Chain A
Amino acid sequence: MSNLDVSAALPQPLPEPAPAVIEQPARPAAGFAAGLGHARYVATSNPVTGFAFALFFVIALAAILGPWIAPYDPLASDTAAALQPPSAAHWFGTDQIGRDIFSRVLVATRLDLTIAICSVALVFALGGFAGVCAGFFGGWTDRVMSRVSDTIMAFPLFVLAMGIVAALGNTVTNIVIATAIVNFPLYQRIARAEANVRRDAGFVQAARLTGNSEMRILMTQILPNIMPIMAVQMSLTMGYAILNAAGLSFIGLGVKPPTPEWGIMVAEGAGFIISGEWWIALFPGLALMIAVFCFNLLGDGLRDIIDPQRRT
């Protein structure tokens, strides 16, 4: 089975990822410098990745500066100016109670990125660690972890996320937790496979011979080496995390009103499309799409940078 990657859209893991080719001890500093040089090379040689990096920069800027550069208060209603189409005063139009959609879309960037980053960081920490332990130690650790993953994977992902949020209550924290849980098997399996092929690699054996404890080897030799592959995965699941939150909002389980968030704004605007007020759903929808799009392209680009041999 060759090394495919469909995980951009497919949170389920593939049939066992293949062993990685690189087999070397971690050299963080040198690796970083080389990576940076390679990054410049990839960004300039691959226009799509370059574009994605530029896009990411814009999104990050919006997330940081959003509240200061928004022309209106994203929460202030103005019923006299409700449901206005895009104009010079309101670039993206106004919603049912007259809030400025441009300001709301801009301000929402921070929350959406926060949800995505937190959930990915959480699943990276949990799934990554569980997977590394399973792959490195094998035995019952592996069996227990794999059964947990199997159990989670047997659920339809979106429905499981819905169930978790409905059960725990619809707050941002619970959206983050739900998104992390449904992605757990993906991270666990990738980390497991990567750790597994390295557990008896030359540099690990060498570390063992020099008297390092197993835990120390895990932390200093195995973890740093699988970081790049996990980073690619993180970028790819960021997009899924945002989509997941939007889907939850659509069925009324998302972020609470009146907080601006792209998903809930699309859901609110959905009812207005047929009656001709397309702008309410369109602009947050576009923002959502662009962000997810950017993360997906970025994931591809990162893979190119980190692991040229695995380019697909």
Chain B
Amino acid sequence: MLRALARRLATIAPTLVGVVIVTFLLTRVLPGDPAAYFAGPTADQASIEQIRASLGLDRPLPVQFLAYVKDLATGNLGSALSTGQPVLTELAARLPASAELTLTALLLAMAIAIPLGILAAVKEGSLIDHVCRVVTTAGVSLPVFFTGLLFVYVFYYQLGWAPAPVGRLDVFFTEPAKVTGFFTIDALIAGDLETFRAAAAQLVLPAATLALFALAPIARMTRAAMLSVLSSEFIRTARASGLRPGTVIVAYAFRNAMLPVVTTLGMVFSFLLGANVLVEKVFAWPGVGSFAVEALIQSDYAPVQGFVLAMALLYVALNLLIDLAYGLIDPRVRLES
């Protein structure tokens, strides 16, 4: 087991090296001159050069890269010029916001897509099956920024059901004491129901926007997994021995279909984490995605590098966990070398 783990870790190393190099190169070939941008409106060439030197951008690329690697090794990801804060601080402060949004969206999507997928599998080829297919496909066919704006227009501006899209919490609430960084959970821990409601209300629209996008993969997965389980021997046996159809589907088939679904949820999660960039922008959500977009537009290298690196680490770690969990749950699956 340990040897397998070591082997698995060894396959990660080249990926990480690749990520560091690609990130560095990508951000350095971005056109534009951050020195000129941050030197301010009335700067002359001399003050631009001063800024350039202070940013270390006047050194040759290999030197910049070595400096970058050295900084990485010491946990220094540089400062975000757009907010003026160290990138590590920014990412740490914003990651819970993105994670809370993404997780809520994932749970929401699961709550809808899993029953839908089961239903579609049980009634394969029926109207429900087609409806399920059409609805989930429609969900994934909408550009998320368009859905988000539409939701704001209808549910906030026209109907007034949703609170103002001002970020994670209405202005007149104070943030709950930080435990997990998830406002809803922290508010519950603090026993502050009002704040919990406010935070949850802010989550609804952006989470729904994102969830719509995640419906299709989860519903399809569930349907496929259910179909293959439903046609297996032990279900036929269970049915033949006269168990109620509901019991067969929920207690036997779904339990067994759950494993592949859960596995792939990990990937849906990381996919959503990357895709919520646009949703965060529409809803003024202070997450890592919107932070990275802003930085990219301004050729602000450090946050882009930090963000991409953090995402890459998250993704690699997630997959590692899933692999390991899978190996533990199902001994027949051996770790790939």
Contacts and interface: CB of A to CB of B under 8 A. Distances in A.
Contact of A8 (B11, B140, B281): B140
A166 B153 contact: no
Contact of B142 (A14, A167, A289): A289
B18 A293 contact: no
Interface string A154-171: 111111101110110100
A224 B132 CA distance: 33
Contact of A5 (B133, B220, B293): B220
Interface string B298-337: 0000001001100110011000000000000000010000
Contacts of A6: 216-218, 220-221, 264, 268
A270 B19 contact: no
A125 interface: no
B275 interface: yes
Interface in A243-266: 243, 246-247, 250-252, 263, 266
Contacts of A164: 26
A270 B145 contact: yes
A252 B277 contact: no
Given A239-B141, A288-B143, A289-B141, A155 B19 contact: yes
A270 B333 CA distance: 48
Interface string A1-37: 1111110111110110000000000000000000000
Given A8-B217, A164-B26, A150 B18 contact: yes
Contacts of B76: none
Interface of A: 1-6, 8-12, 14-15, 47-48, 147-148, 150-151, 153-160, 162-164, 166-167, 169, 239, 243, 246-247, 250-252, 263, 266-267, 270, 273-274, 278, 281, 285, 288-290, 292-293, 296-297, 300, 312
A247 to B, nearest CB: 6
Can you list the 6 inter-chain pairs with the closest CB atoms, starting with the nearest? A156-B274, A151-B18, A6-B217, A292-B141, A154-B312, A293-B141
A151 B26 contact: no
Interface string B261-281: 001100110110111011001
A131 to B, nearest CB: 17
Contacts of A300: 133, 137
A312 B275 contact: no
Nearest to B156: A274
Contacts of A250: 143, 145, 278
B59 interface: no
Nearest to B15: A150
A10 B140 CA distance: 10
Given A4-B220, A15-B264, A159-B308, 10 more contacts: A5-B224, A9-B140, A10-B264, A48-B134, A159-B293, A160-B308, A266-B146, A270-B149, A281-B149, A312-B227
B224 A3 contact: yes
B214 A9 contact: yes
Contacts of A267: 145
A252 B145 contact: no
A281 B146 contact: yes
Interface residues of B, number: 67
Contacts of B293: 159, 162, 251
A155 B312 contact: yes
21 contacts: A9-B140, A12-B271, A48-B133, A150-B18, A155-B312, A159-B307, A163-B26, A166-B31, A239-B140, A243-B141, A247-B145, A247-B278, A273-B149, A273-B152, A281-B149, A288-B141, A289-B138, A293-B141, A297-B134, A297-B137, A300-B133
Interface in B142-166: 142-146, 149-150, 152-153, 157
Interface in B185-221: 213-214, 216-218, 220-221
Contact of A147 (B15, B133, B297): B15
A257 B234 CA distance: 60
Contact of B31 (A4, A169, A285): A169
Given A14-B264, A273-B149, A147 B143 contact: no
Question: Chain A: interface secondary structure?
Answer: helix
A85 to B, nearest CB: 15
A263 B143 contact: yes
B4 to A, nearest CB: 17
A174 to B, nearest CB: 12
B27 interface: yes
Contacts of A147: 14-15, 18
Given A6-B217, A158-B274, A285 B143 contact: yes
A297 B214 CA distance: 16
A238 B19 CA distance: 27
Contact of A163 (B142, B152, B296, B316): B296
Nearest to B307: A159
A289 to B, nearest CB: 5
B308 A156 contact: yes
Contacts of A8: 137, 140, 216-217, 220
A274 B292 CA distance: 26
Interface string B220-243: 110111011000000000000000
B130 A47 contact: yes
B53 interface: no
